[in-house]
Amino acid sequence: MEEFNICNFEVDHIIPKSKGGGDYYENYPLLCGNGNRVKGDRPTEYLRIKIKTRDSFR
């Protein structure tokens, strides 16, 4: 299992600002840097699907 270092986390937006999401507490999840880059400006559900798909091949 991968260890997480709090210094590697980034604040993201559940609903991306480019898709109408706002700057408010409920829209700010923490993601690891790699997850944030994979997600890009897509909804958080995109990243969940990518992780589930990746894990099914392990």
Tokens representing 54 are 């990746």
How confident is the model at residue 4, as a pLDDT? 63
Over the stretch 9-54, which tens digit does the pLDDT of each residue have? 899 998 888 889 999 999 998 888 888 999 888 888 898 898 888 7
- The helix (H) or strand (E) run that includes residue 46 is helix 44-56
Cα gap 1→46, rounded to integer Å? 22
Cα gap 39→48, rounded to integer Å? 9
Contact indicator for 20, 11 with CB cutoff of 8 Å: no
Report residue 8's pLDDT band, with 50, 70 and 90 as the boundaries.
confident
Task: Give this prediction's pTM.
Answer: 0.66
Kindly give, in sequence order, each residue whose CB lies less than 8 Å from that of residue 3, ignoring residues fewer than 6 positions away.
Answer: none
